[in-house]
A and B are shown apart, each in its own frame.
Chain A
Amino acid sequence: MFVSSPDRGASEFPGALVRGVCSACRDESRLAQPAGTEREAGDDAAMNFDFSEEQHQLRDQARRFLTEHATSKRIRQVLDGVAPYDRAMWQEIAAMGWLGAGVPEEYGGAGLGHVGLCVLAEELGRSLAPVPFSSSVYLATEALLVAGSAEQKDEWLPRLVAGEVIGTLAWAEGNGNPSPARIKARVSGGKLTGAKWPVPDGGVADVAIVVARDESDRVVLALVRLGSAGVHPETLATLDPTREQVKLSFDGVPCEILPGDGWAALEQVLERAAILTAFEQVGLAQACLDMSVAFAMERHAFGRPIGSFQAIKHKLADVYVATELARSNAYYGAWAMTAGAAELKLASASARVSATDAAWLAAKENIQTHGGIGFTWEMDCHLYYRRAKVLGLSLGSAPFWKDRVVAALETRNAA
């Protein structure tokens, strides 16, 4: 079993984290095992609604690595435009096997199941690590897992897992939430034409899954190599410069169509990404709450720590409550995703709505708790504030997901 000691250098992390620890939790059915029981999943019978010991170890190791490496200084290099992402951190993360946590072993993944990936997502959210993890893992890798042909999986998944290529997903065409009616990009004669924005990490990605329409107007997912002639990337100014957003214009670019109904596949990818992102948002909310509490204990005004004033205590208690509700909803999402439960639509939308709410509340009240210093450039409060809002927009904003919650409830109650 891999055990880290405080003086262990980063070079000793590779491989060990994901690959060494969790042989006991390889079997996804052990992580989530609802089917075939006499009770329904939503029933009051969960006696094991927590991560396993191995997953907790994975978390500890991820936290140690990210605390050491995803420092404010390194995040700010990306913020200040020195680089579009932290390449060295990305390579170490790849070497530790994180990119393949949710990918079956046949494609070079760790086969830990999505619960392991959820653990990592929470830690990445807490740390603000400036790497294209969400684009490459939650979006591109998941899209290939959901909709890729056997050949496409064989060709791309091992390279995505190894970090040799970075992937992304381009669904948006300007303002607005996901809707088939908004898709105008067109594939004709195997060539893609159109413009997608914002595309996360679209400037550093090697491959994109692009949502487009084919000759018969059906929505399809098109795989595009972004190094091809006719791809014009344009970096956009964004709310959160620690995560790149790009406009990608395609001018008759060769592409490969992923088999099946493109819109149905996109919805599945968004649902999974919503749950993984919910864990990032929970991690971010917890980080903000921890910062707020630490500051409120330190900072004195009127002769006492500001954390002794009920105006602050009650505010932070509310942040705690929102974060715990979000965490519990995210856990349920993790279960639903791993178990392939029929409630995935409801569970993913609930996790997203709850986590978006918690992250936003925690990030804005963190600045408020800090007072004047909270809105200075030098404090990290604004980094969390920026990230919180962007995470809440990236997969479609709250109204879109709230509507899905109710649509899922209506379907459930009609049945």
Chain B
Amino acid sequence: MDFEDTQEEAAFRAEVRAFLAANAEPKKRGVPARARHVDAEALSRAKSFQAAKHDAGLVGLTWPKQWGGRELPQIFQVIYNQEEEAYAAPRGVFEIGLGMCIPTMMAYATPEQLTRYVPKALRGEEVWCQLFSEPAGGSDVAAVRTRAERNGDEWTINGQKIWTSGAQFSDFGIMVVRSNPDVPKHMGLSFFFLDMKSPGIEIRPIKQASGASHFNEVFFTDVKIPDSQRLGAVGQGWRVALTTLMNERLAIGDVPRPDTEDLLDLARSIELDGEPAINNVSVREKIADMHVRSQGLKYTRFRTMTALSRGQTPGPESSIGKLVNAAKLQEIASFGLDLLGAGGSVMDKDLAPMHAMFQEALLASPASRIAGGTDEILRNIIAERVLGLPGDIRVDKDIPFNRLPSGKR
């Protein structure tokens, strides 16, 4: 056990630090890391940063050299991400495209298509989104109802996708659609990439309970896609979708705020029964409980990095990160507000301590327990893939999709 980089890793870390120092602003205390909306200005800033990163050779680190990558082991991506943590670097815009869409393209698209799309995506000139979830298919991702009907060399798409991050500023998207409703659920799917500016696409932002809008609904009315943009065989779309999902980016340990230290700061700054709240036994126990969870995750991440550094693949055990973080965030937010008593309900930034960080988190935390795999799905994944317990009994396995009961919601 030690905390040393190898020589190569240390050299790379130095390279990354030099780049970031010259090209990005350090994070400021008390300023939320993530913007509530990506406006035109934020998008253009993100694009220039990506271009600079590209020109410095710090994109596609693990990708083939043929496509502009450096063919480095995954630990180098982790090192990059660690260093970037300290900066207010706008990277969110490209995460889905470079993390999920382009790797899927690499597995299924033609060389000509890759030559056309990969370099522009890598340099941030074109943005990609991913269209999987639907109103009737959240955790049950394969319950896709958006229809694709073939007419010669062209497909016609009708239906609706939902929870699409970045659809409003994306140039291209990948999507899974139902090409045959007469066979069981997983068998009737096909997979495409498409131009998000195609006629018949309508994008509407979803206003979340917190007031922010990170996601969209995307409606498809007679949208045409050439058959040449199909990825994988007709009816094999689920297999392609699994490739996309496997490429979900490594948890890089964005610790959501407020965390233990913020709770500690809050408890020191306010009074409870005439003395600092930090002196209260139940407050101390809560802070300790939250601290050991945060630190447990941090050192679990160290173990994951060790596996990566040794060239091993971290298993699905990395799924504990989101499960623990999301619940902890909600608990810290709620407990922090309890310390404020009646005043905890006030979100006015001049009155609420720490820029209303606790109030904001209370409203945002339900989403983090759902988006990107619900708590329940993550527990299933741990039980099945880590502990080896049996999968759920699937009542929809052998029934044609169009004969499945659908429920009212």
**Which residues of A are at the interface with B, using a C-beta cutoff of 8 A?**
30-34, 37, 39, 41-51, 115, 289, 293, 296-297, 304-305, 307-308, 310, 312-314, 316-318, 320-321, 324-329, 331-332, 334-335, 338, 349-350, 353-354, 357, 399, 401-403, 405-406, 409-410, 413
Contact = CB atoms under 8 A, between A and B. Distances in A.
Given A314-B376, A325-B297, A402-B289, A293 B302 contact: no
Nearest to B380: A313
A347 B378 CA distance: 29
Mostly helix, strand, loop or mixed at chain A's interface? helix
A308 B389 contact: yes
A405 B3 contact: no
B293 to A, nearest CB: 6
Nearest to A332: B299
B2 A48 contact: yes
A274 to B, nearest CB: 13
A406 B284 CA distance: 6
Contacts of A332: 295, 299
Mostly helix, strand, loop or mixed at chain B's interface? helix
Contact of A324 (B309, B320, B378): B320
Interface residues of B, number: 59
Contact of B3 (A31, A46, A293, A312): A46
A313 B379 contact: yes
B382 interface: yes
Given A296-B389, A313-B389, A409-B291, A48 B85 contact: no
A238 to B, nearest CB: 27
Given A50-B1, A321-B323, A332-B299, A308 B82 contact: no
A405 B292 contact: yes
B278 A410 contact: yes
23 contacts: A44-B85, A45-B3, A46-B306, A47-B5, A47-B309, A50-B303, A51-B1, A304-B390, A308-B392, A308-B393, A313-B383, A317-B382, A317-B386, A317-B387, A324-B317, A325-B293, A325-B297, A328-B299, A329-B299, A331-B302, A399-B285, A402-B289, A413-B261
A335 B1 contact: yes
B384 interface: yes
Given A33-B4, A46-B302, A331-B1, A402 B288 contact: yes
A298 B391 CA distance: 15
A340 to B, nearest CB: 14
Contacts of B390: 297, 304-305, 307-308
Contacts of A297: 388-390
Nearest to B5: A47
Interface in B336-387: 376, 378-380, 382-384, 386-387
B299 to A, nearest CB: 4
B305 A354 contact: no
B379 A317 contact: yes
Contacts of A44: 82, 85, 253, 298, 301-302
B252 to A, nearest CB: 10
Given A33-B4, A405-B288, A313 B384 contact: yes
A406 B296 CA distance: 16
Nearest to B286: A402
A293 B306 contact: no
B388 A293 contact: yes
A115 B2 CA distance: 12
Nearest to A334: B1
